[in-house]
């Protein structure tokens, strides 16, 4: 087995987790189940993120048990010549400890018989809550087996604790090995975006009919040829008005000269996601109105990037974005100041929401919308109440997370203009998003996805070539 990350890195993470659950704790981490797609065909297998983070093992049918004394035990599929002929190589429990740097390994068939013994004498059993169907019931079953033998001297853990808490905190700050993988994933994805842009312009120049799936195929080709296992999420390739559908998926829409194309796509590499959006003119040249809106979104992204640094709040980039977008919407006449008032009014009443209805970013890591709390843990009790200007709902605000070096987030402002009364026709059906991946540093942030440009002139230049 070739681990893309040294086994010592996983061992370090397990040791850190063992310290967090305390000397008498025990943590149970199942990997993901295989998922049937339809008869006799499974979805491409992907291990569970928490499980992979702690041991790097990619086979299905496996569990990891970590005890507070720092010992790690793997349960995995046993060697089986016949099954391996059909399904492929299995590492097996005999080879697993040395290969993965674990203390012990057993066949998965022994899970139910071994688990009660591993739980006996522990004060708390930790497992990821609400992540695996039926997990709570299985844990209850093992605990009942320990309880059934208390008259013979067993000691059943008194607490069940959510392992997501400590693991999410660990995963939120990416170590050097994770950052290196994410840089590479973003670089590969950037190459895919460039290819898609160039193909669109070339096919239109040659008079060919371009469809969204042609561009999707370029992305996939580039991802896979550089060793990415799969896209990190369903690629969005949205031509023209489709760009105003936030969760549109690459389909068969015609990509027409004169329209914009929005591509939100990123590869997954060795368990880590990238998440890039670019919006470009199908034929390689922005029209006046397209350019005006694009420059506005880009300026709002620049404002967000400028405030993304250690010590800032997670919400600072969003607030910076909104300020620029709101002013631009007033300046371009998409919002009528006679109706919506001043910049301050637009922000307070969320009048921009008609055109910008999502947040400016999210954590990025093994999962595209990665784990990690968005509230600052040290200030969790500082609540304030307000009424939402649009819905009238009562919202409880808590201080947003303070950014630390090594946190990774996306910065992805956008504007989506659906035809509506009072909205200038020249902007109708334009959807724009620009999304980059940023590693927080002490002085600012490192944009790891800029292998594909964002400036109008640079996009037009690369689509000419
Ligand atoms: N691609 C998903 C997102 O941008 O959040
Ligand atoms: Mn995103
Ligand atoms: Mn995205």
| Beta bridge partners of residue 387, listed in sequence order | 394
Residue 158 tokens, joined = 């008194």
How far is residue 278's CA from residue 236's CA, in Å, rounded to a whole number?
A: 10
E-only strand ranges, 48-101:
63-67, 72-76
Structure-token pair, residue 115:
């688990």
- Centre of ligand 1 to C-alpha 275, Å, is 6
Q: Is residue 412 within 6 Å of ligand 1 at its C-beta?
A: yes
Q: Are residues 369 and 256 in the same domain?
A: yes
Using only the alpha carbons of the chain, give its radius of gyration: 25
Instruction: Name the helix (H) or strand (E) containing 236.
Output: strand 236-239
148 part of a folded domain: yes
Only one residue has tokens 């970590």, namely 66
Q: Catalytic pick from 195, 202, 362, 398? A: 362
237 domain-assigned: yes
Residue 187 phi/psi, 5-degree rounding, is -65, -45
- Cα–Cα–Cα angle for 390, 294, 247, nearest 5°? 55
User: Is the same domain home to 274 and 253?
Assistant: yes
User: Among the options 120, 264, 316, 436, which is catalytic?
Assistant: 264
Q: What is the pLDDT along the chain (465 residues), one digit of tens a residue?
A: 667 889 999 999 999 999 999 999 999 999 999 999 999 999 999 999 999 999 999 999 999 999 999 999 999 999 999 999 999 999 999 999 999 999 999 999 999 999 999 999 999 999 999 999 999 999 999 999 999 999 999 999 999 999 999 999 999 999 999 999 999 999 999 999 999 999 999 999 999 999 999 999 999 999 999 999 999 999 999 999 999 999 999 899 999 999 999 999 999 999 999 999 999 999 999 999 999 999 999 999 999 999 999 999 999 999 999 999 999 999 999 999 999 999 999 999 999 999 999 999 999 999 999 999 999 999 999 999 999 999 999 999 999 999 999 999 999 999 999 999 999 999 999 999 999 999 999 999 999 999 999 999 999 999 997
CATH number for 57: 3.40.350.10
Query: Do residues 220 and 152 both lie within one domain?
Result: no
Same domain for 209 and 138?
Answer: no
Ligand 1 mean position to 28 CA, how many Å?
30
Does residue 2 lie in a domain region? no
Cβ of 368 less than 6 Å from ligand 1: yes
Same domain, 146 and 207: no
**Residue 82's closest CA among 94, 90, 93, 73?**
90
On whether the CB atoms of residues 30 and 138 are closer than 8 A, the answer is no
Closest ligand 1 atom to 275 CA: 1
Instruction: Please tell me the distance between residue 260's alpha carbon and the centre of ligand 1 in angstroms.
Output: 19
Q: Is 40 a catalytic residue?
A: yes
Q: Could you tell me if 286 and 364 lie in one domain? A: yes
Known catalytic residue: 247? yes
| pLDDT for the residue 250 | 83
Between strands 124-127 and 25-30, the pairing is: parallel
Ligand 1 center–CA 264 separation, angstroms: 7
Among the candidates 170, 200, 232, a domain finishes at: 170
224 and 294 together in one domain: yes
Q: Is residue 375 part of a domain?
A: yes
Asked if 318 is an active-site residue, the reply is no
Cα distances (angstroms) measured from residue 84 to each of 1, 9, 32, 257, 333: 15, 29, 20, 51, 65
Best substitution site from 363, 367, 368 to test ligand 1's pocket, by max atoms within 8 Å of Cβ? 368
Residue 316: inside a domain: yes
**Structural domain harbouring 225:** 176-464
Residue 234 CA to ligand 3 center (angstroms) comes to: 10
- Pair 252, 151 in one domain: no
**359 Cβ below 6 A of ligand 1:** no
* Residue located nearest, by CA, to atom 4 of ligand 1: 275
Q: Is 302 a catalytic residue?
A: no
CATH classification of the domain holding 281? 3.90.230.10
Catalytic option among 106, 127, 294, 416: 416
Query: Is 264 in the active site?
Result: yes
- Write out the E strands in 108-152: 124-127
Task: Please name the residues in contact with 57: beta carbons below 8 A apart, sequence gap of 6 or more.
Answer: 1, 31, 47, 51, 64, 74, 76, 91, 96, 100
Catalytic residue among 151, 206, 247, 385: 247
Residues 259 and 377 in one domain: yes
Looking at the structure, tell me whether residues 162 and 267 fall in a common domain.
no
Q: Which of 99, 275, 316, 436 is catalytic?
A: 275
| Short-list 361, 363, 386, 381, CA closest to 373 | 363
Q: Give the total number of structural domains in the chain.
A: 2
The protein residue with its alpha carbon nearest to ligand 1, atom 3, reads: 275
Among 410, 414, 433, 437, say which to mutate for ligand 1: greatest number of ligand atoms within 8 Å of CB. 410
Q: Residues within 5 Å of ion ligand 3 by Cβ?
A: 264, 275, 435
pLDDT of residue 423: 97
Residue 119 and residue 66 share a domain: yes
Residue 11 lies in a domain: yes
124 and 196 share one domain: no
Kindly report the protein residue whose alpha carbon is nearest to atom 5 of ligand 1: 369
Q: Would you say the CB of residue 233 lies under 6 angstroms from ligand 1?
A: yes
Q: Is 385 a catalytic site residue? A: no
Which pTM does this prediction carry?
A: 0.97
DSSP β-bridge partners for residue 125: 26, 160
Q: Which atom of ligand 1 is nearest to the CA of 412?
A: 4
Domain endpoint, select from 148, 170, 192: 170
Domain boundary among 153, 170, 187: 170
Residue 161 lies in a domain: yes
């Amino acid at each position: 087995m070739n681990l893309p990350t040294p086994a010592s890195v996983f061992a370090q993470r397990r040791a850190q987790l063992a310290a967090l659950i305390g000397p008498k704790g025990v943590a149970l981490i199942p990997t993901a189940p295989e998922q049937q797609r339809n008869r006799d065909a499974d979805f491409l297998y992907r291990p569970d993120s928490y499980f992979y983070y702690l041991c790097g093992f990619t086979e299905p049918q496996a569990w990891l048990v970590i005890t507070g004394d720092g010992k790690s035990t793997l349960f995995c599929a046993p060697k089986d010549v016949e099954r391996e002929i059909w399904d492929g190589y299995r590492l097996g429990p005999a080879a697993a400890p040395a290969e993965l740097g674990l203390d012990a390994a057993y066949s998965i068939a022994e899970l139910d018989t071994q688990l009660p013994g591993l739980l006996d004498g522990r004060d708390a059993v930790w497992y990821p809550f609400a992540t695996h169907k039926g997990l709570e019931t299985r844990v209850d079953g093992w605990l009942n087996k320990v309880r059934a033998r208390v008259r013979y001297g067993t000691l059943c853990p008194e607490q069940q604790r959510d392992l997501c808490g400590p693991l999410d905190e660990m995963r939120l700050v990416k170590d050097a090995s994770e950052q290196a993988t994410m840089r590479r994933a973003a670089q590969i994805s950037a190459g895919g975006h460039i290819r898609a842009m160039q193909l669109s312009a070339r096919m239109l120049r040659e008079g060919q009919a371009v469809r969204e799936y042609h561009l999707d195929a370029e992305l996939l080709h580039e991802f896979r040829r550089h060793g990415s296992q799969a896209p990190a999420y369903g690629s969005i390739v949205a031509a023209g008005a489709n760009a105003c559908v936030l969760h549109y998926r690459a389909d068969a829409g015609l990509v027409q000269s004169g329209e914009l194309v929005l591509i939100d796509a990123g590869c997954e590499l060795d368990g880590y996601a990238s998440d890039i959006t670019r919006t470009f003119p199908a034929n390689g040249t922005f029209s006046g109105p397209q350019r005006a809106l694009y420059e506005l979104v880009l300026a709002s992204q620049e404002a967000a990037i400028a405030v993304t640094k250690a010590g800032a709040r997670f919400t600072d980039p969003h607030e910076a974005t909104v300020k620029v977008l709101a002013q631009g919407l007033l300046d371009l006449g998409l919002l009528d100041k006679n109706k919506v008032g001043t910049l301050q009014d637009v922000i307070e009443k969320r009048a921009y929401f008609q055109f910008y209805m999502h947040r400016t970013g999210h954590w990025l890591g093994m999962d595209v919308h990665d784990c990690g709390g968005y509230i600052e843990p040290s200030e969790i009790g500082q609540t304030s109440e307000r009424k939402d200007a649009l819905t009238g709902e009562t919202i409880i605000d808590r201080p947003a997370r303070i950014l630390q070096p090594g946190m990774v987030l996306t910065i992805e402002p956008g504007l989506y203009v659906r035809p509506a009364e009072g909205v200038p026709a020249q902007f109708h059906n334009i959807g724009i998003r620009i999304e980059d991946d940023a590693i927080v540093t002490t002085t600012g942030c490192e944009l790891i996805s800029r292998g594909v440009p964002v400036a109008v002139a640079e996009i037009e230049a690369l689509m000419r070539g």
